[in-house]
Protein backbone atom coordinates (compact mmCIF):
# COMPACT_ATOMS: atom_id res chain seq x y z
CA UNK A 1 0.00 0.00 0.00
CA UNK A 2 1.43 3.36 -1.06
CA UNK A 3 1.26 6.66 0.82
CA UNK A 4 1.17 8.58 -2.46
CA UNK A 5 -0.56 7.86 -5.76
CA UNK A 6 0.29 10.02 -8.76
CA UNK A 7 -1.66 10.24 -12.01
CA UNK A 8 0.28 11.01 -15.18
CA UNK A 9 -2.13 11.40 -18.09
CA UNK A 10 0.65 12.62 -20.43
CA UNK A 11 3.67 10.33 -19.95
CA UNK A 12 6.66 10.72 -22.27
CA UNK A 13 9.85 9.01 -23.32
CA UNK A 14 12.42 11.74 -22.58
CA UNK A 15 15.72 11.67 -24.43
CA UNK A 16 18.72 13.92 -23.83
CA UNK A 17 21.86 14.34 -25.91
CA UNK A 18 24.47 16.97 -26.76
CA UNK A 19 26.22 18.35 -29.82
CA UNK A 20 29.09 20.76 -30.34
CA UNK A 21 26.95 23.50 -31.88
CA UNK A 22 23.33 23.77 -33.05
CA UNK A 23 23.30 25.25 -36.54
CA UNK A 24 20.64 25.19 -39.28
CA UNK A 25 21.08 23.14 -42.44
CA UNK A 26 23.81 20.84 -41.09
CA UNK A 27 23.87 17.30 -39.83
CA UNK A 28 24.45 17.61 -36.10
CA UNK A 29 26.51 14.74 -34.69
CA UNK A 30 25.19 13.97 -31.23
CA UNK A 31 26.36 12.04 -28.18
CA UNK A 32 24.80 8.74 -27.22
CA UNK A 33 21.40 9.77 -25.82
CA UNK A 34 20.15 9.27 -22.30
CA UNK A 35 16.56 7.99 -22.01
CA UNK A 36 14.26 8.60 -19.03
CA UNK A 37 10.63 7.96 -18.24
CA UNK A 38 9.02 11.40 -18.15
CA UNK A 39 5.78 13.17 -17.42
CA UNK A 40 4.87 14.97 -14.20
CA UNK A 41 3.32 12.13 -12.25
CA UNK A 42 6.08 9.72 -13.23
CA UNK A 43 8.80 12.18 -12.20
CA UNK A 44 7.13 12.81 -8.83
CA UNK A 45 6.73 9.11 -8.05
CA UNK A 46 10.30 8.25 -9.14
CA UNK A 47 11.83 10.87 -6.87
CA UNK A 48 9.60 9.93 -3.94
CA UNK A 49 10.75 6.34 -4.35
CA UNK A 50 14.40 7.49 -4.43
CA UNK A 51 13.73 9.45 -1.22
CA UNK A 52 12.52 6.25 0.44
CA UNK A 53 8.76 6.86 0.27
CA UNK A 54 6.00 4.52 -0.88
CA UNK A 55 4.56 5.88 -4.13
CA UNK A 56 2.79 4.40 -7.15
CA UNK A 57 2.16 6.10 -10.49
CA UNK A 58 -0.81 5.45 -12.76
CA UNK A 59 -0.29 6.22 -16.45
CA UNK A 60 -1.57 5.22 -19.91
CA UNK A 61 0.98 3.45 -22.12
CA UNK A 62 0.75 2.69 -25.81
CA UNK A 63 3.03 1.55 -28.62
CA UNK A 64 6.75 0.86 -28.42
CA UNK A 65 7.40 4.15 -26.60
CA UNK A 66 4.83 3.19 -23.98
CA UNK A 67 6.62 -0.11 -23.42
CA UNK A 68 9.94 1.74 -23.14
CA UNK A 69 8.50 4.14 -20.54
CA UNK A 70 7.05 1.26 -18.49
CA UNK A 71 10.39 -0.58 -18.61
CA UNK A 72 12.27 2.52 -17.44
CA UNK A 73 9.85 3.08 -14.55
CA UNK A 74 10.17 -0.58 -13.60
CA UNK A 75 13.98 -0.38 -13.73
CA UNK A 76 13.89 2.54 -11.28
CA UNK A 77 12.10 0.35 -8.74
CA UNK A 78 9.08 2.68 -8.67
CA UNK A 79 5.68 1.00 -8.36
CA UNK A 80 3.37 1.65 -11.29
CA UNK A 81 0.01 0.76 -12.81
CA UNK A 82 -0.26 1.07 -16.59
CA UNK A 83 -3.49 1.51 -18.51
CA UNK A 84 -3.36 0.20 -22.11
CA UNK A 85 -3.73 3.00 -24.66
CA UNK A 86 -4.43 2.65 -28.38
CA UNK A 87 -2.12 5.52 -29.36
CA UNK A 88 1.64 5.61 -28.93
CA UNK A 89 3.06 7.37 -25.87
CA UNK A 90 4.64 10.70 -26.80
CA UNK A 91 8.31 11.57 -26.95
CA UNK A 92 10.32 14.63 -25.97
CA UNK A 93 14.00 15.41 -26.26
CA UNK A 94 16.63 17.87 -25.06
CA UNK A 95 19.66 18.99 -27.07
CA UNK A 96 22.56 20.59 -25.20
CA UNK A 97 24.63 23.01 -27.31
CA UNK A 98 28.14 22.80 -25.87
CA UNK A 99 29.48 25.91 -27.62
CA UNK A 100 26.69 28.24 -26.52
CA UNK A 101 26.09 26.35 -23.23
CA UNK A 102 22.34 26.40 -23.78
CA UNK A 103 19.69 23.72 -23.94
CA UNK A 104 16.94 23.23 -26.51
CA UNK A 105 13.85 21.35 -25.35
CA UNK A 106 11.42 19.82 -27.84
CA UNK A 107 8.10 18.46 -26.55
CA UNK A 108 6.00 16.47 -29.02
CA UNK A 109 2.21 16.26 -28.67
CA UNK A 110 0.64 13.22 -27.11
CA UNK A 111 -1.98 10.95 -28.65
CA UNK A 112 -5.49 11.76 -27.39
CA UNK A 113 -7.01 9.40 -24.84
CA UNK A 114 -10.43 7.96 -25.59
CA UNK A 115 -13.27 8.32 -23.08
CA UNK A 116 -12.86 4.65 -22.17
CA UNK A 117 -9.11 5.11 -21.62
CA UNK A 118 -9.71 8.17 -19.44
CA UNK A 119 -12.18 6.20 -17.31
CA UNK A 120 -9.74 3.29 -17.06
CA UNK A 121 -7.12 5.70 -15.69
CA UNK A 122 -9.58 6.98 -13.08
CA UNK A 123 -10.59 3.42 -12.15
CA UNK A 124 -6.92 2.51 -11.66
CA UNK A 125 -6.42 5.66 -9.59
CA UNK A 126 -9.36 4.73 -7.37
CA UNK A 127 -7.96 1.24 -6.83
CA UNK A 128 -4.45 2.44 -5.98
CA UNK A 129 -5.62 5.32 -3.75
CA UNK A 130 -7.22 3.04 -1.19
CA UNK A 131 -5.32 3.64 2.05
CA UNK A 132 -3.09 6.38 0.57
CA UNK A 133 -2.58 9.84 2.07
CA UNK A 134 -1.99 11.95 -1.07
CA UNK A 135 -3.19 11.87 -4.65
CA UNK A 136 -1.16 13.93 -7.13
CA UNK A 137 -2.35 15.09 -10.54
CA UNK A 138 0.84 16.28 -12.20
CA UNK A 139 1.77 17.17 -15.77
CA UNK A 140 0.00 18.28 -18.90
CA UNK A 141 -3.51 17.18 -19.79
CA UNK A 142 -3.53 15.52 -23.25
CA UNK A 143 -5.35 17.21 -26.12
CA UNK A 144 -9.00 16.25 -26.22
CA UNK A 145 -9.33 15.30 -22.55
CA UNK A 146 -12.16 17.44 -21.12
CA UNK A 147 -11.45 19.81 -18.25
CA UNK A 148 -13.84 17.96 -15.98
CA UNK A 149 -11.11 15.33 -15.62
CA UNK A 150 -9.68 17.54 -12.84
CA UNK A 151 -12.95 17.38 -10.91
CA UNK A 152 -13.21 13.64 -11.50
CA UNK A 153 -9.71 13.14 -10.10
CA UNK A 154 -10.74 15.27 -7.10
CA UNK A 155 -13.78 13.02 -6.60
CA UNK A 156 -11.50 9.94 -6.59
CA UNK A 157 -9.19 11.53 -4.03
CA UNK A 158 -12.09 12.62 -1.84
CA UNK A 159 -13.67 9.14 -1.94
CA UNK A 160 -10.36 7.61 -0.84
CA UNK A 161 -9.90 10.18 1.95
CA UNK A 162 -6.73 11.59 0.35
CA UNK A 163 -5.42 15.12 0.05
CA UNK A 164 -5.24 16.17 -3.61
CA UNK A 165 -2.22 18.05 -4.97
CA UNK A 166 -2.47 19.52 -8.49
CA UNK A 167 0.45 20.66 -10.62
CA UNK A 168 -0.71 21.32 -14.16
CA UNK A 169 -1.18 24.33 -16.42
CA UNK A 170 -3.58 26.36 -18.53
CA UNK A 171 -7.31 25.85 -18.22
CA UNK A 172 -6.82 22.68 -16.17
CA UNK A 173 -4.90 24.65 -13.54
CA UNK A 174 -7.67 27.25 -13.40
CA UNK A 175 -10.21 24.46 -12.99
CA UNK A 176 -8.24 23.07 -10.05
CA UNK A 177 -8.96 26.21 -8.02
CA UNK A 178 -12.53 25.07 -7.49
CA UNK A 179 -12.49 21.29 -7.16
CA UNK A 180 -11.45 21.05 -3.51
CA UNK A 181 -7.74 20.36 -4.05
CA UNK A 182 -5.65 20.64 -0.89
CA UNK A 183 -2.73 22.29 -2.72
CA UNK A 184 -2.14 23.68 -6.20
CA UNK A 185 1.26 24.72 -7.57
CA UNK A 186 1.54 27.32 -10.33
CA UNK A 187 4.83 28.82 -11.43
CA UNK A 188 5.22 32.56 -12.08
CA UNK A 189 4.03 32.41 -15.69
CA UNK A 190 1.01 30.36 -14.66
CA UNK A 191 0.25 32.77 -11.81
CA UNK A 192 0.32 35.63 -14.34
CA UNK A 193 -2.09 33.66 -16.52
CA UNK A 194 -4.44 33.12 -13.58
CA UNK A 195 -4.62 36.85 -12.75
CA UNK A 196 -4.42 38.08 -16.35
CA UNK A 197 -1.49 40.47 -15.97
CA UNK A 198 2.30 40.68 -15.87
CA UNK A 199 3.88 40.61 -12.42
CA UNK A 200 7.11 42.59 -12.31
CA UNK A 201 8.10 42.76 -8.63
CA UNK A 202 7.71 40.93 -5.34
CA UNK A 203 4.85 43.10 -4.11
CA UNK A 204 2.80 42.38 -7.25
CA UNK A 205 3.55 38.67 -7.02
CA UNK A 206 2.54 38.55 -3.35
CA UNK A 207 -0.72 40.37 -4.07
CA UNK A 208 -1.55 38.09 -7.00
CA UNK A 209 -0.81 34.96 -4.98
CA UNK A 210 -3.08 36.13 -2.17
CA UNK A 211 -5.83 36.99 -4.69
CA UNK A 212 -5.66 33.57 -6.36
CA UNK A 213 -5.69 31.77 -3.02
CA UNK A 214 -8.67 33.82 -1.85
CA UNK A 215 -10.57 33.27 -5.11
CA UNK A 216 -10.55 29.46 -4.92
CA UNK A 217 -11.08 26.76 -2.31
CA UNK A 218 -7.63 25.14 -2.20
CA UNK A 219 -6.11 25.15 1.28
CA UNK A 220 -2.59 25.91 0.05
CA UNK A 221 -1.15 27.80 -2.91
CA UNK A 222 2.51 27.03 -3.61
CA UNK A 223 4.09 29.30 -6.24
CA UNK A 224 7.48 28.33 -7.66
CA UNK A 225 9.49 31.40 -8.66
CA UNK A 226 12.76 29.95 -10.02
CA UNK A 227 15.64 32.21 -8.90
CA UNK A 228 13.21 34.19 -6.71
CA UNK A 229 12.46 31.14 -4.58
CA UNK A 230 8.88 30.23 -3.76
CA UNK A 231 5.74 31.45 -2.02
CA UNK A 232 3.40 29.51 0.26
CA UNK A 233 -0.05 31.01 0.85
CA UNK A 234 -2.44 29.57 3.44
CA UNK A 235 -5.24 30.98 5.56
CA UNK A 236 -2.57 31.85 8.12
CA UNK A 237 -0.70 34.11 5.72
CA UNK A 238 2.00 34.25 3.07
CA UNK A 239 5.53 32.89 3.45
CA UNK A 240 8.43 33.61 1.13
CA UNK A 241 11.10 30.93 0.74
CA UNK A 242 14.50 32.05 -0.56
CA UNK A 243 16.03 30.29 -3.54
CA UNK A 244 18.83 27.80 -2.96
CA UNK A 245 22.08 28.77 -4.66
CA UNK A 246 23.26 26.07 -7.08
CA UNK A 247 25.19 25.86 -10.34
CA UNK A 248 22.74 24.80 -13.08
CA UNK A 249 23.73 21.95 -15.39
CA UNK A 250 20.76 22.17 -17.75
CA UNK A 251 18.43 20.08 -15.61
CA UNK A 252 14.67 19.96 -16.14
CA UNK A 253 11.71 18.72 -14.11
CA UNK A 254 12.32 21.18 -11.29
CA UNK A 255 8.61 21.63 -10.62
CA UNK A 256 8.04 17.88 -10.40
CA UNK A 257 10.99 17.59 -8.01
CA UNK A 258 9.52 20.39 -5.91
CA UNK A 259 6.24 18.49 -5.54
CA UNK A 260 8.05 15.26 -4.64
CA UNK A 261 10.18 17.09 -2.07
CA UNK A 262 7.14 18.81 -0.59
CA UNK A 263 5.34 15.50 -0.12
CA UNK A 264 8.46 13.84 1.29
CA UNK A 265 8.67 16.62 3.87
CA UNK A 266 5.01 16.25 4.78
CA UNK A 267 5.39 12.48 5.18
CA UNK A 268 8.36 13.12 7.48
CA UNK A 269 6.25 15.35 9.74
CA UNK A 270 7.25 18.83 8.55
CA UNK A 271 4.67 21.60 8.50
CA UNK A 272 3.61 22.84 5.08
CA UNK A 273 6.10 25.74 4.99
CA UNK A 274 9.11 23.61 5.95
CA UNK A 275 7.88 20.90 3.56
CA UNK A 276 7.74 23.51 0.80
CA UNK A 277 11.31 24.51 1.68
CA UNK A 278 12.29 20.85 1.31
CA UNK A 279 10.51 20.94 -2.05
CA UNK A 280 12.46 24.04 -3.07
CA UNK A 281 15.68 22.21 -2.20
CA UNK A 282 14.57 19.31 -4.41
CA UNK A 283 13.84 21.67 -7.29
CA UNK A 284 17.25 23.29 -6.93
CA UNK A 285 18.96 19.90 -6.82
CA UNK A 286 17.24 18.95 -10.08
CA UNK A 287 18.87 21.96 -11.74
CA UNK A 288 22.31 20.52 -11.05
CA UNK A 289 21.59 17.34 -13.01
CA UNK A 290 21.96 16.96 -16.80
CA UNK A 291 18.90 16.85 -19.05
CA UNK A 292 16.06 14.84 -17.57
CA UNK A 293 18.17 13.10 -14.91
CA UNK A 294 16.51 12.90 -11.48
CA UNK A 295 17.64 15.03 -8.55
CA UNK A 296 20.09 13.38 -6.16
CA UNK A 297 18.36 12.63 -2.82
CA UNK A 298 21.58 13.24 -0.86
CA UNK A 299 22.01 16.66 -2.50
CA UNK A 300 18.39 17.55 -1.68
CA UNK A 301 18.92 16.83 2.01
CA UNK A 302 22.24 18.69 2.04
CA UNK A 303 20.67 21.80 0.52
CA UNK A 304 17.71 21.65 2.89
CA UNK A 305 20.02 21.46 5.90
CA UNK A 306 21.90 24.59 4.81
CA UNK A 307 18.93 26.70 3.70
CA UNK A 308 17.70 30.01 5.03
CA UNK A 309 14.76 30.66 7.34
CA UNK A 310 11.45 31.41 5.53
CA UNK A 311 9.99 34.92 5.89
CA UNK A 312 6.39 34.75 7.09
CA UNK A 313 3.75 37.47 6.69
CA UNK A 314 0.38 37.33 8.48
CA UNK A 315 -2.84 36.84 6.58
CA UNK A 316 -4.64 39.95 5.36
CA UNK A 317 -8.08 40.62 6.77
CA UNK A 318 -9.63 39.99 3.34
CA UNK A 319 -8.17 36.49 3.23
CA distance readout (Å), 256 to 102, 120, 279, 285, 319:
21, 24, 9, 12, 28
DSSP secondary structure letter of residue 20: S
Strands of the sheet containing 34-38, edge to edge, are 34-38, 12-19, 90-97, 102-107
In sequence order, what are the beta bridge partners of 107? 92
Nearest CA to 274 out of 286, 287, 261 is that of 261
Query: What DSSP assignment string belongs to 249-298?
Result: -S---HHHHHHHHHHHHHHTT--HHHHHHHHHHHHHHHHTSSTTPPPPHH
**From 167, 187, 206, 256, active-site residue:** 256
Dist. CA 216–CA 175, nearest whole Å? 10
DSSP for 57-90 reads EEEEE-HHHHHHHHHHHHHHT-EEEEEE-SSPPE
Distance CA 64, CA 91 (A): 11
- Across the strands, what pairs with 233? 221, 238
Distances (CA, A) of 227 to 11, 48, 198, 199, 316: 27, 24, 17, 15, 26
d(CA 50, CA 301): 12
Three-class SS state of 310: coil
Beta bridge partners of 90: 12
Q: Determine whether 31 is an active site residue.
A: no
**Dihedral sign, Cα of residue 145, residue 147, residue 148, residue 153:** positive
- Residues with a known catalytic role: 256
Amino acid sequence: MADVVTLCLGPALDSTTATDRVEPGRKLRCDIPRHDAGGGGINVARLLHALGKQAVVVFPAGGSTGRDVAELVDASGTSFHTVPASGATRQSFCINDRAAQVQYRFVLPGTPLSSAEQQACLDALTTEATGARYVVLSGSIPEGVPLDIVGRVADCARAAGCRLIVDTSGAALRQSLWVGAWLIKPDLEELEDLVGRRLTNDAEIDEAARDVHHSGNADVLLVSLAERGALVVTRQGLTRIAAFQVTPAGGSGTGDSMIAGLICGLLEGLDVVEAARFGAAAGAAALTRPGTAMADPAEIRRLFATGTVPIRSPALAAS
